[in-house]
A and B are shown apart, each in its own frame.
Chain A
């Protein structure tokens, strides 16, 4: 406890609070711009921290990290341009709400859910980090394989009203996921000699193309033909979500925060798996699943509490084992070691004061972005009234800059523009784009872990059912698939004849 008080003293100095504020604002901005990921935000801050005392350095990195994940929700909701894959699921319901003029309410819900998820995961990090970190080790290739399948099952939820088109879109994503150097043999697959494709079809250019660039095209095309004009005619609804709505979503927020924290612990998973699984589970438990995808506040709450819960989760193996939970925390490890702190158990003994300073600053950063976010809601929502002819070109410019900034490759910009055209027509013909992106993310995870499992188990497929953890996950997959059918059957049986 003494060390917590000392850490509290470190966080509450004027210099620390100023760093926290600047980090939070910078993180929110980075998160809301297309292509500027949390990883890049934190990495760009590392050189700045070289000459800072360790406490301040970690406060800055922590604040940028948690607030950049939140920042992605703003553009996902208001413009349907998720900055990274973490907020695609937020856009599914957030954007229909914004298009109906209820953007402020959606933003409010996203902010509260992010706060809930963020705080939940930090509390988990403080309370039970060491025992939980063993989860990271318990997950072997078999478990990752089943987790990836679980992620793919969520496509059913995401494309609920157009299942066949959703599956087709996912199939295209899986095919694209085969492009690149074979991790096991080094053989080139469908790269056509383009070294830009050796690491696979880069995710963010595809994401920015399908969502942001296509949205820019949409906004420039006059409304009609069943296509959304993209801008809200008038702002309706409440400034913040009603207490009743918030209370209704509490269970979803709690469930999603647990999912987010656990997925965060796994180094081989990713933020988007957490938000899609949470979204799908929220829909499964909802009494009105048909409202998901058309502007359901609960969908926004599910995705946002999950992706912010990932932040604390990823720090659990990072701080206790020295194994980064994702790319952002890998950068964190670099930042820690520069200041002489080697991640591992010694962080909580030798460097306890600084470590708890970091954890407390995460708590404060969560509160801070929520305050700023709630205050900004009603101002930001005006964006949805800007004419599409102005907004479209602006989104296009930011998309091009963001895509180029990813790795300074003009190839990626062409890729994003090409996928912008693809996305534009997919929307016209009512093919959902999210399944394609989910499949592109999960395809390589599934393939690599399946092949690892098979090598380890000597091609014995029962390995997925003989390991308790893997078997449990298999049952969850079956449950997620079978439950909607069962619910439908029950509803039919109880329906008056």
Chain B
């Protein structure tokens, strides 16, 4: 089956390169760009938060470019499948995709043996959303702040159970970072998604929930859950009462970021054009209003700054990994 699969891929690549060889030089490509619909690869399933953001962004960027933008979902392997497709796409500007930091920069070393893309294959374009990480307990929990929580973990580490949504995901990394700061070991239980983990937290089956602000905001505003900390430099806008980790003396910064990237060899003119279009969408007050309604904090990082942001995060997490890998090899 593998050989068949590979041969189909090879034929596909052959067709693409044959088409490219028919005399379309990059300059003519750039001159009338975009002359056909652009596909936007989303590495997660339809209806998820990444997909929702992508589809709203697509709606606005269509107006900027005067061309259709088609969202294509390529979910699987925690985003890896989609990023493989993005990295291998023709660098002609007709394929862009969403990347989710920090997971996109983590796979190249945590899955070193099998990973199908490298960060060098991708050129980050613009970050749109940064959703800070949080540590959340149920409203009836005895723990009011991080110190309470740490004291409880120190006295009985086994009985304090904390959920995360996937090994090596941003929630898990944030909690590991916090555990290292507090010098404790946390008893993690893995969940497959935020629905089950939230139900388990509110039902009293687990002690705490490591997740993102957008996932916790409703339950906290409804008074069913309490945020012990938010892992950002400043407090979250919809949750002004939840203190940051730093305010409480724990130097933890963690978030899930979502932005756009293109295949690495995309022509500079096209890259600049899309950068400009992205800037206009992100500055559009209507787009901002839609993001606010979805509790998605807009955090624009453009062009080279975004490339550096991904590279820095990659270097930092790789150092952490080499010190203490979080996936069994």
Binding site for B on A (CB under 8 A): 39-40, 42-44, 46-47, 50, 136-141, 181-188, 191, 193-196, 198-199, 267-268, 317, 321-325, 327, 330-331, 334, 337-338, 340, 342-346, 407-411, 414-415, 418, 448, 452, 455-456, 458
Contacts and interface: CB of A to CB of B under 8 A. Distances in A.
Nearest to A183: B190
Contact of A184 (B5, B52, B167): B167
15 contacts: A39-B46, A44-B46, A140-B200, A186-B326, A195-B77, A196-B76, A199-B76, A267-B199, A321-B224, A338-B293, A344-B218, A407-B74, A411-B5, A418-B1, A456-B161
Contact of B78 (A40, A42, A198, A323): A198
B205 A456 contact: yes
Contacts of A448: 190, 192
A317 B199 contact: yes
Given A193-B114, A344-B218, A198 B168 contact: no
Contacts of B114: 188, 191, 193-195
B168 A186 contact: yes
Q: Shortest 4 CB-CB distances between A and B: which pairs?
A: A331-B47, A43-B46, A186-B167, A137-B203
Nearest to A417: B1
Nearest to A344: B222
Contacts of A137: 199, 202-204
B219 A186 contact: no
A448 B191 CA distance: 8
A415 B1 CA distance: 8
B116 interface: yes
B18 interface: no
A484 B264 CA distance: 64
Given A43-B47, A198-B80, 17 more contacts: A39-B45, A136-B203, A140-B203, A141-B200, A141-B205, A184-B167, A193-B113, A267-B199, A317-B199, A325-B195, A327-B47, A330-B47, A334-B52, A338-B56, A343-B218, A408-B85, A455-B187
Contacts of B219: 322, 344
B110 interface: yes
A334 B167 contact: no
Nearest to B198: A323
Interface in B293-325: 293-295
A331 B327 contact: no
A187 B327 contact: yes
A39 B51 CA distance: 13
A275 B59 CA distance: 39
Interface in B113-129: 113-116
Contact of B46 (A40, A136, A191): A40
B234 interface: no
A195 B76 contact: yes
A187 B114 CA distance: 12
Contacts of A340: 293
Interface in B1-37: 1-2, 4-5, 8-9
B324 to A, nearest CB: 14
A415 B2 CA distance: 11
Interface of B: 1-2, 4-5, 8-9, 45-49, 51-52, 55-56, 59, 71-78, 80-81, 84-85, 110-111, 113-116, 158, 161, 166-168, 187-190, 192-193, 195-196, 198-200, 202-206, 218-219, 221-222, 224, 290, 293-295, 326-329
Contact of B161 (A268, A324, A455): A455
B161 A323 contact: no
Nearest to B158: A458
Nearest to B327: A186
Contact of B75 (A42, A186, A407): A407
Contacts of A344: 218-219, 222
Count chain B CB atoms within 10 A of each CB in A44, A188, A323 and give the residue with the most: A323
A79 B326 CA distance: 48
A415 B76 CA distance: 15
Contacts of B71: 47
A322 B216 CA distance: 10
A327 to B, nearest CB: 7
Contact of B84 (A184, A195, A321, A323): A195
A136 B199 contact: yes
B328 A187 contact: yes
Contacts of A342: 218, 221
Contacts of A191: 114
Nearest to A187: B328
B119 to A, nearest CB: 16
Contacts of A408: 72-74, 85
Contacts of A39: 45-47
Contact of B202 (A47, A194, A321, A407): A321
B214 to A, nearest CB: 10
Nearest to A266: B199
Contact of A456 (B189, B199, B329): B189
Nearest to A51: B59
A408 B89 CA distance: 14
Nearest to A325: B195
Contacts of A182: 167
A188 B78 CA distance: 13
A407 B73 contact: yes
A322 B222 contact: yes
Contact of B80 (A141, A195, A323): A195
Given A46-B55, A185-B327, A323-B199, A407 B81 contact: yes
